[in-house]
């Protein structure tokens, strides 16, 4: 197969999305079935089998990396890459192209479509297939057709400018910049992007801690999932954290983003107060949004030793960043005993 017969890779397109479009064009899905059984068919560009298949299509290793690499290691696992923006897919189809899956929908810290300023939708993983862009698009169309009188389908959803979205989007943008740049601005200071990400990772791990049986409890951003069953069979805190970061639930991730914004003080507390009632379902002891309260009551540690190591890590940050996080660190020093899970 010569490369000029391949479909052009779209901006921000996932590898499996592109392969699905290719296989549709030639009417074969054998390659797709095989690659989908690998651990990460979208981003494992060091995998020999994936590279061999791409090579057989005339796509070399460098081109594959340039086109399909992720911009972060903060990836939801393959099975959880179910979040998507319907208006983006609508635009693809409106322009006469096949809908395609964006890489940015696969990132833990990106539950909002930057272009349309909308929360991503989440498809049921059990109803998703290898041609998931078409699958979710058709499903959305069917649901709209059935719910709108006279079969009229609104082609473009209302562009939402809700305050909760704007607040979370500010934090999402801050983290996107931290992934891209060595240094970023934070409240008048220049701080290391890597340090910001290291702190943020700790926050995500605690805020998105999964819903386990007591005494482990939920991460504070999981209150949105209070109606869901608690997860069984988790044997270690480490496994639980990994599970927490693997959940594509959009509102939990949005809540976590807004709480991270509170810790870094990316917006005035009055802005937080505007959104906490309609959007955020937070435990009472952190619903002030104050960084001290979040430090004292919002984190989860496996042991006292881990708690001490975390404070040591935060105290060792460069003084500009440490200064920005001062109230949160003070709260962490006065931590509530329930936060120690072990
Ligand atoms: Zn979009």
Tokens in use for 30? 């054998």
Alpha carbon 236 to chain centroid distance? 23
Tokens 């079935």 label which residue? 33
pLDDT at 15: 95
**Distance from the alpha carbon of residue 310 to the mean position of ligand 1, in angstroms:** 37
Q: Each residue's pLDDT tens digit in the chain (342 positions)?
A: 444 478 899 999 999 999 999 888 887 777 788 888 889 999 999 999 999 989 988 899 999 999 999 999 999 999 999 999 999 999 999 999 999 999 999 999 999 999 999 999 999 887 777 789 999 999 888 887 666 544 343 333 333 457 778 899 999 999 999 999 999 999 989 999 999 999 999 999 999 999 988 878 889 999 878 888 888 888 888 999 999 999 999 999 999 999 999 999 999 999 888 887 666 778 888 889 999 999 999 999 989 999 999 999 999 999 999 999 999 999 999 998 777 877
**Distance from the alpha carbon of residue 134 to the mean position of ligand 1, in angstroms:** 15
**Distance from the alpha carbon of residue 250 to the mean position of ligand 1, in angstroms:** 14
Give 238: exposed, middle or buried? Use CB within 10 Å, 0-12, 13-18, 19+: exposed
d(CA 114, CA 131): 24
**Distance from the alpha carbon of residue 137 to the mean position of ligand 1, in angstroms:** 13
Planar angle of CA 271, 277, 282, nearest 5 degrees: 100
**Distance from the alpha carbon of residue 197 to the mean position of ligand 1, in angstroms:** 25
**Distance from the alpha carbon of residue 145 to the mean position of ligand 1, in angstroms:** 20
pLDDT at 277: 67
Give the chain's end-to-end CA distance (angstroms, integer).
57
**Distance from the alpha carbon of residue 112 to the mean position of ligand 1, in angstroms:** 8
**Distance from the alpha carbon of residue 115 to the mean position of ligand 1, in angstroms:** 5
pLDDT at 233: 86
d(CA 201, CA 312): 16
For residues 263 and 291, is the Cβ–Cβ distance under 8 A? yes
**Distance from the alpha carbon of residue 215 to the mean position of ligand 1, in angstroms:** 39
> Could you state, in order of their start, the residue ranges of all structural domains in the chain?
3-151, 163-339
The partner residues of 102 in beta bridges, in order of sequence, read 13
pLDDT at 132: 92
**Distance from the alpha carbon of residue 116 to the mean position of ligand 1, in angstroms:** 5
Q: What burial letters (b/e) apply to 136-147, b meaning 16+ CB within 10 Å?
A: bbebbeeebeee
**Distance from the alpha carbon of residue 1 to the mean position of ligand 1, in angstroms:** 33
**Distance from the alpha carbon of residue 304 to the mean position of ligand 1, in angstroms:** 43
**Distance from the alpha carbon of residue 256 to the mean position of ligand 1, in angstroms:** 21
**Distance from the alpha carbon of residue 196 to the mean position of ligand 1, in angstroms:** 27
**Distance from the alpha carbon of residue 87 to the mean position of ligand 1, in angstroms:** 5
């Amino acid at each position: 197969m010569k490369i000029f017969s391949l479909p052009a890779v779209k901006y921000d397109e996932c590898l499996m999305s592109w392969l699905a479009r290719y296989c549709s064009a030639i009417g074969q899905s054998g390659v797709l079935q095989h690659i989908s059984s690998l651990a990460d068919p979208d981003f494992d560009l060091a995998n020999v089998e994936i590279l061999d298949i791409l090579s057989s299509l005339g796509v070399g290793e460098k081109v594959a990396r340039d086109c399909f690499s992720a911009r972060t290691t903060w990836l939801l696992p393959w099975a959880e890459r179910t979040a998507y923006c319907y208006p983006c897919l609508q635009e693809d189809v409106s322009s006469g192209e096949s809908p395609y899956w964006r890489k940015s929908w696969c990132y833990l810290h990106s539950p909002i479509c930057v272009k349309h300023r909308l929360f991503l939708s989440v498809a049921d993983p059990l109803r998703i297939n290898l041609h998931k862009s078409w699958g979710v698009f058709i499903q959305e169309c069917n649901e709209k057709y059935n719910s709108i009188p006279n079969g009229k389908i609104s082609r473009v959803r209302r562009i939402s400018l809700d305050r909760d979205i704007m607040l979370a989007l500010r934090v999402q943008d801050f983290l996107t910049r931290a992934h891209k740049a060595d240094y970023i601005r934070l409240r008048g200071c220049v701080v290391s992007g890597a340090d910001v990400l290291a702190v943020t990772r700790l926050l995500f791990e605690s805020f998105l801690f999964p819903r386990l049986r007591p005494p482990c409890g939920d991460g504070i951003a999981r209150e949105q999932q209070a109606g869901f069953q608690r997860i069984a069979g988790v044997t270690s805190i480490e496994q639980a954290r990994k599970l927490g970061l693997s959940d594509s639930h959009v509102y939990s991730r949005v809540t976590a983003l807004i709480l991270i914004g509170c810790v870094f003080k990316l917006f005035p507390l009055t802005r937080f107060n505007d959104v906490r009632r309609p959007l955020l379902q937070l435990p009472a002891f952190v619903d002030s949004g104050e960084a001290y309260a979040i430090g004292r009551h919002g984190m989860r540690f496996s042991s006292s030793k881990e708690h001490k190591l975390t404070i040591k890590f935060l105290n060792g940050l460069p003084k500009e960043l440490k200064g920005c996080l001062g109230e949160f660190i003070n709260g962490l020093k006065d931590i509530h005993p329930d936060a120690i899970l072990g």
